[in-house]
Structure 1
Amino acid sequence: MTNCRLCGSANLASVVDLGATPPCELFLTAEQLDESENTFPLHLRVCAECRLAQIPPLITPEDTFTEYAYFSSYSRSWVDHAGRFVTGAVERLGLDAHSFVVEVASNDGYLLKHVVAQGIRCLGIEPSVNVGQAARDAGVPTLTAFLGPESGAGVREEYGPANLVVANNVYAHIPDVIGFTKGLRALVADDGWVSIEVQHLLTLIEKTQYDTIYHEHFQYYTVASAQRALASGGLSLVDIELLPTHGGSVRLWARPAETAGEPSTRVLDVLAREKAAGLLELSGYTQFAERVAKVRRDLLRFLIDAADDGLTVVGYGAPGKGNTLLNHCGIRTDLLAYTVDRNPYKHGRFTPGTRIPILPPDRIAAGRPDYVLVLPWNLRDELTHQLSYVGEWGGKLVFPIPSLEIVEVNPS
């Protein structure tokens, strides 16, 4: 990487170097186990000029999202979160049967199905053919496309301007942040709203959530850098909400610059928090790499001690973040026998790089392991309840982030 993708500066400072790993969603079939895998550097840097944290764009969205392994609807808590958002947005913006809602990166229709249920006209824009088809099968109108200025203008011409454009957990996934933002502006009505949810770099740094750094995530936003990114496409940040999702996210409410008005006090308050944390300077990033190294040492020490004591550790979940963690720590089947996942697409496949088998969830009850390492730690409350049965045989849950924690569970 030589230049910042937002401001063009060549002054990029290292935050943490996680080595080279395969793309986190390229799960292997059994037939691929004797084949080589492509790996790419995973080195987070921050721009000294505009403070956008970013990794080099070494893979393209087309590499990842033409066929995608992630289906949002497999997380009940995430579907519920989307439902609450839709209900709140309808009330906040006064949406009705005459309104039009567009979601970018709409996945399998997990959010727009709530819009359909409200009788509001909507359209999903989803680049992945397989998950987009799942949305259409569920009755959610979905266009297979990547968003840019031209495709955004084309959707506006065919369907009309959107009263609300939703872009949840996609603003980090696009290397052309300026072009994507211009696409959002093309979609939204001149008096409309854009709502974006993205992980907050403040919590990523404060809670050492380094496993959310992977090749699909090209940039990592503070509110300050998101404000600059939105402005690059003609949008102005007017309000925010801090959310617990993904370990700590921010919901950005933006409008076309010409009608936006002044930002709310909530925006100003979070900007002040980011300044106090040092994230508007380079000083706030200097200790992150050492905290990452400690997470790695603590997890490996636990796994090695468990293996030496003859105890079994298995995983729960096969999320992208888990593959960053597994690869950075060099964890193989001698330390983690297998992992399980609710997504049938992943069953019988193997994690990229570490090649740990992915099995159906009922394998845990059959195998009765001593410990279950929870890889999607951001779903802690949901999964602690789901996995409470592990306590029936004295098994325990292990959460690696923000620091190693072993939790006893009681069968419900």
Structure 2
Amino acid sequence: MDRHRCRFCAEELDETFVDLGLSPLANSFVPKEREDATEPTYPLHARVCRACGLVQLPQFEPAANIFDQYLYYSSYSESWLRHSERYAAEMIARAKLGATSEVIEIASNDGYLLQFFRRAGIGALGIEPASGPAAVAIAKGIPTRTCYFGRDVATALRAEGHRPDLIVANNVLPHVADINDFVAGLRILLPDSGRVTLELPHLLHLIEGIQFDTIYHEHLSYFSLATLETVFRAHGLRVFDVDELPTHGGSLRLHVCTEAAPRSPSPALERLRRREAVAGIDQPATYRDFRRKVTAKREMVRDFLEAARRAGKTVLAYGAPAKGNTLLNYCDVTRELIPFTVDRNPHKQGMLLPGTHLPIRDPAALMAARPDYVFILPWNLKDEIIAQLSEVRSWGGQFVAPAPDLTIVS
């Protein structure tokens, strides 16, 4: 076995969390003209650190190769925009933000969140490495720096006089290769009077919901609360509150302050600590049970698609999310089983999914084809997608969501 070291504490990684075989990078969409070219694939073998509990994948591609031309634009999800608007309103109240306050968001994408702070008259600055989404944010009037966050950027911002009342980092820490550099940057930039909020998927939900498809190479790390507290404590920061969210199949929103800040741990934080301990989130038996369930779920997906084909039923997919590519590749889905998928993001339309090479088309193509089943790849947005595609029911079509169990929705 190749030797790998934990990206946080440098201990040797010799415990398997789950091995999903070889897979291309989940967001490496293939241009039509390169359909016959060989794609690089990498082991999708997640390991867990016995010392700190961090579940992780090795880094195979530099961040620049993945994110500089990133095709994910947060504003295409209406439910995510509503979630972000609610968050902004809540934090304006909780942190008592006003005209003299400043909010800095790391991985600010296309301005999907900061626009709500700007509308409230609050100063905002985005940090976004992907040039496409950053340009969209700037066009909205949101100041945005196109760079990767870490110690150096934090030091430069502090030298410029930035003292943010709120630092936001939504769904970015799992993508970070150098966790220590990133979290050290938070400590440099955060004043004792401020707070950081971070949203990220919760390892406990990944395990309980058998959400193996949320494992892909761009997601380098998978966090429990216990591991997160260990990471922040190592850099002079501490978690003082936590919100449990339904987003991305079950996420945490951590509220983090400096060690010197006069904030006490919340009852919600204490409750979640106990829940993780009871669930045995750091026990090898838990990982073995998870691996068994992943294998069973793969067979469930295959059995459904094969049965639909034998019955002469058509199945088309909706969405082109990274998680969908993990599921399709691990389950060996071909065009014979799902001829194509559709996505609202015009930047993805006309491309092919990595590995399976399913064509990505405009949603109008799905409506024209009138499939018997619509297989929802971004299952975390199931309700939003079913509402958008309500016309599918007019010809007797049904929806299929693959998590936590494969479910058919009429």
- Regarding TM over 0.5, the answer is yes
Alignment of 1:305-324 (within 5 A): 305-324=307-326
Match of 2:384 among 377, 382, 385: 382
Give the aligned partner of residue 254 of structure 1: 256
Match of 2:235 in 1: 233
Match of 2:140 in 1: 138
Equivalenced residues, count: 408
Question: Map of 1:280-295 to 2, 5 A cutoff?
Answer: 280-295=282-297
TM-score, normalization: structure 1?
0.97
1:158 alignment partner in structure 2: 160
Query: CA separation in 1, counterparts of 2:346 and 2:297?
Result: 30
CA distance in 2, matches of 1:47, 1:362: 46
Distance in 2, matches of 1:280 and 1:16, equals 14
Q: For 2:293 and 2:283, how far apart are their aligned partners in 1?
A: 19
Amino acid at match of 2:249: G
Q: Is the 8 A contact 2:245 2:251 kept in 1?
A: yes
Once residues 54 and 328 of structure 2 are traced to their aligned partners in structure 1, the CA distance between those partners, rounded to angstroms, is 26
d(CA) in 2 for partners of 1:369, 1:400: 17
Q: CA shift at 1:190, angstroms? A: 2.2
Which amino acid in the other structure matches residue 256 of structure 1? T
Which one-letter code corresponds to 2:205 in the other structure?
Answer: T
d(CA) in 1 for partners of 2:282, 2:397: 44
Unaligned runs of 5+ in 1: none
Give the conservation status (yes or no) of the 8 Å contact 1:102–1:164. yes
The one-letter code matched in structure 1 to 2:34 is: Q
Equivalent residues in 2 for 1:138-287, closer than 5 Å: 138-259=140-261, 261-287=263-289
Q: Which residue of 2 aligns with 1:94?
A: 96
**Which residue does the alignment assign to 1:34?**
36
C-alpha distance after superposition, 1:329-365 (max 9, x if no partner): 1111100010000000011000001100000011111
What is the distance in 2 between the residues matched to 1:257 and 1:39? 43
Q: 1:209 is matched by which residue type in structure 2? A: Q
Q: Runs of at least 4 residues of structure 1 off by over 3 A? A: none
Match of 2:118 in 1: 116
- The runs of 5 or more residues in structure 2 that have no matched partner are none
The alpha-carbon deviation at position 295 of structure 1 amounts to 1.1
Change in Cα spacing, 1:59 to 1:260, as seen in structure 2 (3 Å) is farther
Equivalent pair of 1:51/1:281 in contact (CA under 8 Å)? no
For 1:340, the aligned partner's letter is V
Q: CA deviation at 1:159?
A: 4.5
- Matched residues in 2 for 1:392 and 1:126: separation? 42
Q: Is the 8 A contact 1:156 1:162 kept in 2?
A: no
For 2:155 and 2:400, how far apart are their aligned partners in 1? 48
CA distance in 2, matches of 1:161, 1:72: 26
Q: CA deviation at 1:45?
A: 1.1
In the alignment, structure 1 residue 364 sits paired with structure 2 residue 371: no
Q: Does 1:68 align with 2:100?
A: no
Match of 1:48 in 2: 50
What are the Cα deviations for residues 229-264 of structure 1, in whole angstroms up to 9, with x where unaligned?
A: 112322111000000000100000000112154322
CA RMSD of aligned residues (A): 1.1
Query: 3-state DSSP class of the match of 2:82?
Result: helix
1:266 and 1:283 map into 2 onto residues whose CA distance is 27
The match for 1:339 among 338, 341, 361 is 341
| Partner Cα separation in structure 1 for residue 396 and residue 25 of structure 2 | 36
Deviation at 1:380, TM superposition (A): 1.5
In structure 1, the partner of 2:82 is 80
Give the TM-score, by structure 2 length.
Answer: 0.98
Stretch deviating more after TM superposition (217-226 or 57-66): 57-66
TM-superposed CA distance for 1:281, in Å, is 2.8
